Chain A
Amino acid sequence: MKGNKFKGIAVDGLLRNNPTLRLVLGTCPTLALSTTAMNGIGMGLAVTFILICSNTLISLLRKVIPNAVRIPSFVLIIATFVTVVRMVMEKFIPDLYDSLGVYLPLIVVNCVILGRAEAFASKNPVLDSAADGLFTGLGFTWALTLLGVIREVLGSGSIFGVELWSFRIEFFTSAAGAFFTYGVMIALFNALFAKIDNVKKRKEFYAAYPDAIQPEKLETKTEEVK
């Protein structure tokens, strides 16, 4: 039962409710920081760490924080963790700190973090909230990294900073290129999910009504009648 619950949280965070590709949250850093794959991973992991910590603390304090001041309290908690991440990055990973620039402190108002705090952590137990933070963060990370890989390969002819070829399409490093690539990724991901959902629904339907005729079998049945 517990295992199934965590599996559900994992699938939700990574795929079904992926913050970047399904919920379209945190779009500002997604578009701005996906010029390189390394930026994508860096930003993703920073958000993951903050999500785990803030979800855990908010879940711990959910019965103490009055409803009227829950949003300012969440913002205070998230801002604290963001500042900690900034300090650690500036001290130990200055290159990444420089390349993330203004988008690092802007994590404070990232919809993914505030959204999960409000929708999940403030209503669920600590372990579940921490797991939700972890998987939502990883979902954000893989989407941002994939977007970064595509834009870096096509726009800069390199991957993770390693030059592949001199061919490059500048469009992909621009803001318009970011919107285009992001849009195509959302469309493909949602089309794939729609297909998977259809198959799942059909399976559930025929499991519930085993006598129902399936469309592919309908043709042979009609021929038999003839």
Chain B
Amino acid sequence: MTVKQFFKSSAFKCILVLTCIALIAGGVLAILNDVLYVSDEERTQQAIKKIYGQAVEYQEMTVSEEKAVNEYGTIDKVYKLSDGNYLFKSTGTEGYKGGTVTLWIVADFEGDTFKGLDKVKVAGNEKQTLMSSFKSSFTDFYTNNDDLLLEGYYFDKVASEGNIQNVTSGATRSSNAFNRAVNCTLYFIRNDMEVAR
């Protein structure tokens, strides 16, 4: 096949059409990516808005790798909010099928003293199949036990000494990761957070 024949062939037309579509699509997407880019700051602001219903100013706190991981899971982010409270993003392990649950948790602080949990919202999960069964009554339970939390209690699927029971029937292993995400934050506040001691 000569060069001239190639340029007249249907193969060349196919390559040309596909290349043109790919180039135009790529160009459009590149422009839109610039216009619609969501920065980390915006993501955090979206999460705060989801929890508070309005935008609140915040300051990100640095957490050392050593303190970020504890027996319940991982502290992903810590923010100090303009109203004095702290916002935590923490991931609880050992959920259903070994999955995880990530939560946004607002801890209530009066000055440097921990006063309880204010809000708990789901930020994401891995391998959890029954997330829709966790209703507001389940998450509200975390914020309605401040007296016990100040005494050092944690949450578990069964009630025992030092543990308050919080469980959703039929999803016990999923609620395990839920509880552990909250416990991870509680542990961090009680043991690793300088300001809360």
Contacts and interface: CB of A to CB of B under 8 A. Distances in A.
Interface of A: 35-36, 61, 64-66, 68-69, 72-73, 76-77, 79-80, 83-84, 87-88, 90-91, 94-95, 98, 152, 155-158, 163, 168, 170, 173-175
A80 B25 contact: yes
A69 B36 contact: no
A90 B18 CA distance: 28
Contacts of B170: 170
Contact of A90 (B29, B38, B129, B169): B38
Interface residues of B, number: 27
B136 interface: yes
Given A35-B132, A80-B28, A170-B130, A73 B124 contact: no
Contacts of B13: 66
B70 to A, nearest CB: 26
Interface string B12-26: 011001100110010
Given A36-B132, A72-B18, A174-B129, A98 B124 contact: yes
A135 to B, nearest CB: 26
Contacts of A156: 132-133, 135
Contacts of B28: 80, 84
Q: Tell me the interface secondary structure of chain B in the complex.
A: helix
B67 interface: no
Contacts of B43: 94
A76 B132 contact: no
B46 interface: yes
Interface string B40-51: 000100100010
Nearest to A90: B38
Nearest to B169: A170
B32 A84 contact: yes
A168 B171 CA distance: 13
A64 B36 contact: no
Contacts of A65: 17
A91 B21 contact: no
Contacts of B171: 170
A76 B32 contact: no
B10 interface: yes
B50 A69 contact: no
